[in-house]
Amino acid sequence: MSDLLRKLRAKMKQLADKKVAETMRWFFKTGSGEYGEGDVFIGLKVPVQRKLAREFGDLSFVELQKLLNSTIHEERLISLLVLIDKYQKSNESDKERIFNFYLKNREGINNWDLVDTSAPKIIGKHLLMKDKIILVKFAKSGNLWERRIAILSTLEFIKHNDYLPTLKIAKILLNDEHDLIHKAVGWMLREIGKKKLR
């Protein structure tokens, strides 16, 4: 393990709060048969994680991959927050690398907050002026989180007054059985409604 990653994990351990972890385990449905089953929380609130992501923004892709592969939810979120920041500051070539890295490691993006925080800001931004066929593929996936990535990524398109991709994905997901998909689709359609009412 690198010194930087070791320091991050030590700081996370130091800031961890058992009561916060207990609340998070309930909030993110980690019980048997629930969508977040098996997810591990150490108890770091999101503002703390954002601060750590800024402090440890120099983490390498190897280190970020280790965090994204972690069983600890907060490690995965911090990795994504660092990736978002890197993406915003990168040139086109590096943005492509971050986009591909995200896709390759999407198995670790496996709860709604991880998807909602990162998909619009990496996948959505990257595909804004590009072919969006991968989102159709994700929308038809048997994986809940890939389907949520598909619809949430379109938030970035909505911001740029491009509503067709959202409507196309929403149509595919119309009869989805999962509540987390119903809510995500409803959210994106409301965002279109807000834009059209302005």
pLDDT digits (tens, 9 = 90+) for 5-38: 999 999 999 999 999 999 999 999 999 999 999 9
pLDDT grade for 195, boundaries at 50, 70 and 90: confident
- Is residue 99 pLDDT above 80, yes or no? yes
State the average pLDDT over residues 40-53.
98
Mean pLDDT estimate for the chain: 97
Percent of the chain with pLDDT over 70: 99
Predicted confidence band of residue 122 (pLDDT cuts 50, 70, 90): very high
pLDDT of residue 108: 97
Q: Which of 104, 92, 91 is nearest to 61 (CA)?
A: 104
pLDDT at 18: 97
Quick check: 83 and 117 in contact, CB under 8 A? no
Question: Does residue 152 surpass a pLDDT of 70?
Answer: yes
Q: Which two tokens stand for residue 163?
A: 């509503």
Asked whether the beta carbons of 121 and 78 are under 8 A apart, the reply is no
- For residues 98-116, average pLDDT: 98
pLDDT band at 100 (very low <50, low <70, confident <90, very high): very high
**Helix pair 164-172, 144-153: axis angle to 10 deg:** 160
pLDDT at res. 184: 98
Please determine, for residue 197, whether its predicted confidence score (pLDDT) is greater than 90. no
Mean pLDDT of all residues in 186-192:
97
Provide the pLDDT confidence category of residue 68 given band limits of 50, 70 and 90.
very high
